[in-house]
A and B are shown apart, each in its own frame.
Chain A
Amino acid sequence: MSVNAVDTVSLVGPPLWLLAEVTYRCPLHCVFCYNPVDFAQSGPELSTEDWLRVLREARAAGSVQCGFSGGEPLVREDLEILVAEAHRLGFYTNLLTSGVGLTEARATALKLAGLDHVQLSFQDSTKELNDFLSHTKTFDLKRRTADIIKANGWPMVLNCVIHRLNIDYIEQIIDLAVELGAEYLELANSQYYSWAEINRDNLLPSREQIERAERLTNAYRELLGDKLRIIFVVPDYYETRPKKCMNGWGNVFLTVTPDGSALPCHTAKMLKGIEFPNVRDMNISDIWYRSTAFNYFRGDSWMKDPCRTCADKEKDRGGCRCQAYMLTGDAANADPVCDKSPMHERVTQAVDYAQIPDAQRDIVKPLVFRDPKASRLAKV
């Protein structure tokens, strides 16, 4: 470690963003879920008391944004208690939900608890992937949920994960957002971690698909103006410079998993060889400033070439540690999305494969749905 603990405290800013993944339980089976593939093998969930303590400690350490996520956070019956405490402590409170379980009664209770914002995801979750958009039951649920969100005065923020199997329906997705009265729509291309990585060949769109979707999105932007703000996120794999993942390791984000692991990002648990602290054993301030795990990729002494000598090293911090680990076997390597990476071909190979139409592919791998049974069997 290049910086000692005392210096670290003065150099590192507070964990502004706390992502509370309160449960891995979820009624959905999304093929792009970023929860660990072996989520069903993790330890018992934190208790209400544990979470209340985590909220207090994080707030004292300077956290201001709190996202309640999962799994489906509404599965936790104590969600209202946690939101109320987060609100009382001065957090801006965000709920990231599929809407499943958001009844009028719970929405009212969450509003009373001080919930500031709801981000509703399209649950592209049914095993009948192709008709998820036209599925009446799904649509009714979304309609009902959207009405509940509006009735409580929350802004209507929709998130839809985009991939090879739904990207050609981008117009229908935007139309649906308009129909539901959304103010913001995030069309976030799937990134390839966890379940999405297993399903990558099935999910990574072709260049033509992405260009078409972007073109249509831009046309809608012109048409709709301020009525609906659309954010379109291109998959990393089509870039030549990596993203500044999590805005830097241990820089802004702190994720606490259902079993209490503290992570610099929600997928970091995959990095074997780093022991992540648990909120049951260590307080948030020590985790953030002093733990080995959170200091692991701070500074630049861990960097290798080409990052070490790269002019952009502060701009992108070498990209994503998990992507480097998954695609090169070493988390300290450059994210191979970068075309300066000697292993950039690991990304371009996947991109090349994505250009082959499904009908012309020799090997057809089945989609793997996020599922506790599959997760219990997973060897990671």
Chain B
Amino acid sequence: MVAALTRLFGAKHVELAEDIVQETLLKAMHEWPYHGVPDVPAAWLHRVARNLAIDRLRRESRGLELLKENAALLRSEWTLSSTVNEMLNAPSIADDQLRMMFACCHPSLPREQQVALALKTLCGFGVPEIARAFVVSEETINKRLYRAREAFRALGSIEFPPPSELAPRLEHVLATIYLLFNEGYNSTSHQHLIREDLIEEALRLCDLLTRNATTDRGEVHALLALMLYHAARSATRIDADGSIVLLREQDRSKWDGELIALADHHLDRAVAGQAMSMYHVEAAIAAVHAHAATFASTDWRAIIGLYDQLLRLNPSPVIQFNRAIAVAQADGSAAGAFALEAVKGMEGSHLYHAARGDLLRDQGRVDEARAAYTLAATLTRSPAQNELLRRKQDACG
């Protein structure tokens, strides 16, 4: 709704759009307890927001700097309500959300501002919620939003990028969605390791992209498949106490078969596309895991092969690191440790030291393993991660 209203008023008035949505929700909070929840709440909210928008335009349209293409139409009663109706109808709202996605993920905005703006305007998160999601103060989020809106205004109208720029701009959108997902799936800074709300929003936004002819592309399906494979396992990743359960120990019977089937479907669609992206390979790796009956029977050779492909696309230490873990599974901990030694540039990551600890432990080098776990624990802020590392240190005796 914010996206559609912003398109109506123009990017300069994104706050007016937010105001109207907020006013609509307030109205619902006042009226629903007394008159009951309407039969179709979404339609009620839509109607109220539309009427508020029309009221504001009636009262203020001369003072508002509107977009050239619809200013005359919004300033005359002849066309005001039908123009507003048309711009706020359902199919056009879906398109508006996509346009807004491209605008929020504009390369001129720093990533953290992109995420804050996307959560505020596309996902309807409040400032306190966004602040909580990233464990920063509300003031920080307000600052980020303020700067993002300033940059946003400079963009003027909110449009799809031209075909020549679509692919690189889409990359930015996908990167932001994936970041949102990862923050939900592997919260770096939150008491709860998994934040369902962020995961759901990331899935929803990506799904929306697959439903539009312009953005229905292989890499979008690949990212959606990748996120779905991960989401299918999310319920088994933590136990009742909120502690991490490793892939090796997860109860595979509780993985969500429906989500895996949906992921398979999108992976098929992804492979049918022209381009090959990182998301394709990462989704393929996730698919191998999702279809392995047990940890031991996982096709590690296939996974190593896929990591090799990934390294050709993007030679990064994180991928080398993950490949080394797969080598350890396929060829034993000594071979894995050897591969891990070759990885340079991850010395600041708790994951690297935790994995090094595992491989040392498996080779019986418990003292070195304990030191690696201790070092890893100093490098993460996540309570769940710390708890897991503590358990591993204790197991070293």
A binds B: no
Residues of B within 8 A of A (CB): none
